[in-house]
Copies of this chain bind each other. A is one copy, B any other.
Amino acid sequence: MPGMASMNKWAVAIHGGAGVIERTLDPKAAAVRISRLEAVLASAREQLSRGESALNAVEQAVVGLEEAPEFNAGKGAVLTAAGTHELEAAIMAGHSGACGAVCLLETIRNPIRLARFVLDRSPHVLLAGDAAERLAEDLDRVANDWFRTDLREEQWKKWKSTADEADAKGPATVGAVALDMQGNLAAATSTGGRTGKPCGRIGDTPTIGAGTWADQRCAISSTGHGEAFMAAVAAHTVACRLEFCSEKLEVAMQQMVHEGLPARSGGMIAVDTEGTIAMPFNCEGMYRGAADSMGRFGADIWS
C-alpha cells in the first residue's frame, strides 16, 4: 500500500549506461546524448504528471533510449564476437512483483516491449531467442543488421584486433525507474551487452534481482560489467538493505556501488516511494537523468 506521503508525488530516473566515458568526448557528441536523455525525461515527465503508471512510463522511457542510436540497446546495440547483435531486456512492477524478461533476441526492434509482453501475458519470467520472438506477433521486427551503427562497428573492429573483452568497457545498457502518483514503482532495463561477448552469453539485464528489480520500497536498474552485478545480485541486495536494515535509499545504493561491487564496474539508478532518487557509479561516467514532481529536471554524464 502506498503511504499518503507519496500521493501526487512522482519521480523518474533514466540511464544510458555507465563505463569508460572519456572526458575528451567530442562536446557535440556529448550534447547529442544529453539532449536524447532530456527528450526521454521530458516525455516521462509528461506521462507521470498526468497520472500514467510507473510501469508504462519506464517501458516508454526505455523504448526511447532503445531508439536512440547513441546508446547500447535496440538501435545502436554493440556487436557480439560473431559480429551479430543479441539483445536482452527486463521489466518489473513493484506493487505486484510481476516481472518479464527476454534474452538472446535478434530481430525484435524494441526488446523492452517484448519483456512487457512477457510480464503481462506469459506465465514465465525469462524467455530466450526465437521462441520468445515469435510470441508477440504485433511487435516490430527488423533484420539483425538494422541495429548496427558505424560507431559499434568501429568498436567491434577494435575489439577484434585485441580480442580482449575486458577492453570493451564502453557504456552498456539503458534503463529507467519510476514512482507514479499512485505510489507504485517500476524498473526497466535493456541492452546489447558487451562488445565481443560470445553468442549465448546472458548478462545481468534480464536477470531479475541483478540488473533489474522493483518491489514496494524501491525500483532499480543496473549498468556495467554484468557478471559482477549477477554474482552480487546487486539490485536485490539494495532492496534487502531497505527491507531488512531500514537503510535509506542513498545509503544502500552508495554501499552497493562503492563497496559491494568491484571498482570501475558500473553504476545503478533507483527511486523509492518518497520519490528519492539515487544514481551512484564507480567508473568514469554514467549517462543519466532525473525528473520529479518537485521540479527537478536534468541530465548529466560525468560526476
Q: Which residues of A contact B (CB under 8 A)?
A: 97-99, 103-104, 123-132, 165-166, 197-203, 207-210, 213, 226-227, 230-233, 236-237, 240-241, 244-245
Contacts of A128 in B (CB 8 A): 103-104, 128-129, 200-202
Q: Tell me whether A230 and B99 are in contact in the complex, defined as CB-CB below 8 angstroms, given that A165-B123, A209-B209, A240-B237 are known contacts.
A: yes
Least CB distance from A69 to B in Å reads 27
Please tell me which one of the listed residues B98, B132, B200, B244 contacts residue A231 in the complex, with CB atoms under 8 A apart. Answer: B98
Could you list some 17 contacts between A and B, CB below 8 A?
A97-B231, A97-B232, A99-B230, A104-B128, A123-B166, A124-B197, A127-B198, A127-B202, A128-B129, A128-B200, A128-B201, A129-B129, A132-B200, A208-B231, A209-B210, A233-B233, A233-B236
Contacts of A130 in B (CB 8 A): 200
Copies in the complex: 2
Contacts of A126 in B (CB 8 A): 201-203, 207, 230
* A125-B226, A125-B230 given; 7 more Cβ-contact pairs under 8 Å: A103-B128, A123-B227, A124-B227, A126-B202, A131-B201, A208-B233, A233-B233
Please tell me which one of the listed residues B97, B98, B200 contacts residue A131 in the complex, with CB atoms under 8 A apart. Answer: B200
Residue of B nearest to A244 (CB): B244
Please tell me which one of the listed residues B131, B165, B209 contacts residue A199 in the complex, with CB atoms under 8 A apart. Answer: B131
In the assembled complex, the Cα of A197 lies from the Cα of B126 at a distance in Å of 12
